[in-house]
Amino acid sequence: MPIRETLFLGRGDVRRLLSMETALPVVESAFAAHGRGETRMPPKIYLDLPEFKGDFRAMPAYIPSLNAAGVKWVSSHTANPGRGLPAVIAVLILSDPETAEPLAIMDATHLTLMRTGAAGGVAARYLSREDSHVLALVGAGVQSHAQLDAIRLVRPVRQVRLSDPNQAAVQSFMDHFGADPELEITICGDGREAVAGADIVVTTTPSRKPVVRRDWLGDAVHINAIGADAMGKQELETAILQDARVYIDDREQALHSGEVNVPVSSGAWSADNLAGSLGEVVAGLAEGRTRGGGLTVFDSTGLAVQDMAVARAVYDRAVKEGVGQALPLATE
């Protein structure tokens, strides 16, 4: 059997091949497979680099139904935006599960952004009110762009309320979305002003102390808590979790590094209160939003199964369209 070449896909290739319209259904099916227990995904491994204000994470996964296996090597370096670099930089190896051949090596920086946005869209589809049209974004970095792109595919978002102390981030958000005739964007002085009257709240900050408080929120709000994805990070006041139905993406990862990690380790909130995982909701094994009112929280840590499902879709499309560069990786 001849050894297959490995396809190299740069950031521009992946950007061309992957839209939010493509990512959203692929991520939704990855959540369903994960919810049914049909995936294999050891929890991510962290390599902390406090001297560089960052970390690396290794994220392996296998999805039998998609014939996709591989690993993503991804960072979260908070000083990077100040250097003109993304806070999150990633590379992914997609392998054939049967032969172990590396099918592709691809930049996964844009892929990470898209699959995280798509997870937010899936959560909004199952957990927010159908008529949700006011979206508050606390944090205006790149993840907030992807959240808006995904949520507006599933909900009729017309008003966006934005809060970020970093003027450059706000400007870049406005450069991207400011001219969109279907969006009315309000730049708010702080998080409290941003979340007032919101149907959906998305937090995408690297904060280690709450940036949204319970008494700022209405009574029928869904929150995507995206920023907390490492131990010690927290964006929501614990009183919000106490009043909400809380859904995680993966129990082990969430307890270690998700929004719930700080209140669980301090004893202020118990994991016994979890309503389920988003995958279980998508698979019909747990209830999502059952009535108009009430708070719901999606605690996103980011799953390797999201990455592998999207990487498989990118690879298949690249092969079909002849995109990328074949590398003779296995040549002696």
In sequence order, which ranges of the chain are alpha helices (DSSP H)? 11-17, 20-35, 109-127, 142-154, 167-177, 191-195, 238-243, 251-257, 261-266, 278-282, 304-321
| Least CB distance to ligand NAD at residue 171 (A) | 11
Q: Are strands 184-187 and 200-203 parallel, antiparallel or unpaired?
A: unpaired
- The SS3 of residue 29 is helix
Options 39, 95, 204, 234; binder of ligand NAD; rule CB under 6 A: 204
Q: Rounded CA gap, 94 and 34, in Å?
A: 18
φ/ψ of 313, rounded to 5, equals -65, -40
Binders of ligand NAD among residues 52 to 91 (CB under 6 A) are 76, 81, 87-88
| Least CB distance to ligand NAD at residue 249 (A) | 8
DSSP 167-214: HHHHHHHHHHHTT-TT-EEEE-SSHHHHHTT-SEEEE----SS-SB-G
Binders of ligand NAD among residues 178 to 197 (CB under 6 A) are 191
DSSP 274-308: --EEHHHHHTTSS----SSSSEEEEE----HHHHH
278 counts as binding ligand NAD under rule CB under 6 A = no
CB contact at 8 A, 251 and 274? yes
198 counts as binding ligand NAD under rule CB under 6 A = no
84, amino acid identity: G
User: Active site includes 72?
Assistant: yes
Convert residues 128-157 into a mask of x (bound to ligand NAD by CB under 6 A) and - (unbound). Answer: ----------xxxxxx--------------
Contact region with ligand NAD (CB under 6 A), list: 62-70, 150-158, 266-274, 296-304: 296-304
**Toward ligand NAD, which CB reaches closer, 131 or 190?**
190
Options 107, 149, 199, 229; binder of ligand NAD; rule CB under 6 A: 229
257 counts as binding ligand NAD under rule CB under 6 A = no
**Choosing from 72, 209, 233, 320, which is the catalytic residue?**
72
253 counts as binding ligand NAD under rule CB under 6 A = no
CB contact at 8 A, 126 and 281? yes
| Least CB distance to ligand NAD at residue 26 (A) | 15
**Toward ligand NAD, which CB reaches closer, 33 or 195?**
195
Distance from CA of residue 120 to its chain's centroid? 6
308 counts as binding ligand NAD under rule CB under 6 A = no
| Least CB distance to ligand NAD at residue 219 (A) | 23
Catalytic residues: 72
Binding site for ligand NAD (CB under 6 A): 76, 81, 87-88, 112, 116, 138-143, 163-166, 169, 191, 204-207, 211, 226-227, 229, 300-302
